Structure 1
């Protein structure tokens, strides 16, 4: 028995004619007859009597008609119910987001969906604990969108940048027209408009200036107004103001960049890609339609992050796991200018703390950072080996020592996860000789004592020079313990020469009566890198990736902030001249580094095979290097930030 047989029988019963029933059901008369006969065979009874071209129901037929009419009605109600459900599902859309996505962004995406598909649709929002959770949910739900600060490279999810905002200074006076940007410190004592009290924009501005040791109250002559009203006030009455500006939308006021606030805030709309060859659906229509995004400063503030347990209702008891506090120990060199953009600047800008806070919020572990300032690489390599450090920044000679020394090739040995800075022309280290020695050539160092920080870049450059001049075996090297804060150079006073890296070479030259060796040659190239303890990187890959993301952001800040040299000078205590000489404009070949995170394995190979010398007596003959290079962490960091490969 099937439904078409039942409907054929009921139509014949209602019209009293096979011909009329066939016309009603848009079937042929023989087809109707066959369906009724099949139903009679299934029920093993006669339902319709046929006499003299007339038909009438049998007693069984009348009973069957009553029962089957009820069955068909129930089936039609069932079909109607599920039809409505399908229509309703097509009109229901979910927006998945993290807790730190602005509420105004959510509001405008909702309005965009409604304006594109019609007001009869229903939208819901769902707060997720991570970007990965958003992607996983979108893969299962085609009637959904995601909002994320990161572009995704998933094969199943498409992403689109919907806003690119930045805190900028808006103004009307011509006095600022000749400036391309302005430092934040110049605005603290001026009359300035700031976003409205308790607004989302003000909260974001507070967060952004906090790493500089500033608070909103440091703007001593501030007024808080709506950002929409701010532009009108400035245009009509003059003045200046700080507000979030969509860099893609023209403004009624003039605006310039605030150097310390130059990092933009990107927001991506995510959606399911669908199968290749499928017809475009409503999801595609919403994704491709123009979205006129406008930031609103009077919308409710950012919601606090909720745990997964609190997002789901459950009658079962919940077992609370106590979070474990963990400390990330990072070794940096605050006065080694070649590394400060990836060390001291990250610390002062609060970049790593921001990324680690996200990991702590979405896991059972609570992480904090401990920055340890060193003067050279040797104690950092020791700290990594003894699990006293998790991450460190060291130079090329220490990296080569690590690569050619089998004692580092164990589960707790360090791995290279990124370059920090490079100098394609040399090391920037200096070999200095006492000023009371008249001859300032390298040959005069034969049978002499030379002081140098062991395992430093200067150590590698010194050994390279001694070997080039065939006096490697006759020179005696002593270590300069730069970690001694009071008298780091005292044990070098009896030395005929000193080798050190910038800026310490300038300090020694100025304060300890040394002069530069005339015929010193630099190594062909130089580099610094980030190393991590192998076991730590395996156990905490998200933390390692967070550090690399903070490096990428710090490099962006350094390149796009005109006052970055001034800030680095204040944070390190090294004068601006030396910082600019090392990291600034390139006027000569040697001594100028540029921040660059791409790991150049060919440089490492050439350094270890052609430049690296293990000690003053024997050139290294190691033929097989340890496997220290791990590029996947940097690839993941760039992918998380929506960056393409180098």
Structure 2
């Protein structure tokens, strides 16, 4: 028995017409009939009843059709699995991240993976949380680094670290010594993430300001954390950013004040497909989870 016998059988079982099945397979009818007869002889079972008017599956034929379809589905799964295994040693691995968490640990991650998988082409993309979720669902990336929450039945999410918030300001333009003085900033111009770009994060920033007793005057918006910090440096406003940014910014013109009184945090999570069990994905996630302090 060969795969072509099963392929021919399924074509006839689906069409219940030898002429149409032959046309579908791009062969003539006599060879098709001969292949089906050979299959029936090998199985020692009649798969079809046929006369001048119609072709029907026997009970044995119905069972064989069901099992043959399952066999081909399993073959497709095996092929896809084999490709994934091969991609661990060659191919492409795409990692997306949000601008507010990029740090040296991501560079270290790529170095780590390159040692383990030297023939893999690793690619980094700076993408918003919402777009990362969509890209992962559509298999356009293999792993994402986002600010939670994430709600998708296709995605596995693991907390990487919990981040606090810090006020960021230009030291020459603003003089502030403690959190108790934050209310005096209520008339200052604020620079925030765009609401459509990061809706959940935008709402958290508004909650933070409400905690300190004011509604911020949001004049400038940006979709990149580095752009926000640059606008602050240029004296175009003040902002509130994840505390992780302060740890990775040593510019002497910029001041950071961690907001410790408010009990609000932002979770940074690693997201992968629930169906992805490749070694390269496991290695990437394990590396980041074991290097939280280096973020």
TM over 0.5: no
TM-score, normalised with respect to structure 1: 0.20
Q: Which has the larger radius of gyration?
A: 1
TM-score, normalised with respect to structure 2: 0.39
